[in-house]
Amino acid sequence: MLKRKMVAAFLTFVLSVLVVTLFLPLDLFFSDAVNRKGDFTEDLLVYSFYFSLGLFLYGFPVSILIEKITRKLPEGRRPFAFLLYVFFGFLPFFFLWIFTIYSLSISILFFIMDELIMLLRKGKNKNIAEVR
């Protein structure tokens, strides 16, 4: 479980940093965008720092908690886990309201990555069992 969560967290980190850096450069957050001539690598480093803090210090432990909560649910595990990811993605609204859209979208992306890895692993195990 921990290995899968770490891989999901890393993939989520890479995808979210690249997408946000490409589509929301830091120039948009400054009122006088003409005076700031930031480049892609600078924006990438800044987003990487903040996203890694949020994802690995908050998102990763919350993901493990969600896994432990939903492990016992045979039916409806995936929808309930999705709702928990959305809830915990929205939770930073009360502390850092301006970053809510980031945390919410990254938590949904983390859910998607984790579920895809889980499905790929189940398919791989099923294929190995058929070969034996």
Q: Which two tokens stand for residue 43?
A: 């924006």
For residue 41, give Cα distances in angstroms to 35, 46, 120: 18, 9, 33
pTM: 0.79
Beta-carbon neighbour count of residue 22 at 10 Å? Answer: 11
Mean pLDDT of 57-67: 91
Mean pLDDT of 6-35: 77
Q: What percent of the chain has pLDDT over 70?
A: 83
Contact 38, 27 (CB under 8 A): yes
Distance of alpha carbon 103 from alpha carbon 59, whole angstroms = 9
Question: Which has more confidence, 69 or 43?
Answer: 69
Residue spans per domain, the chain: 2-131
* Distance in Å from the first CA to the final CA of the chain: 25
pLDDT for res 127:
58
**Residue whose C-alpha is closest to residue 52's, from 94, 12, 112:** 12
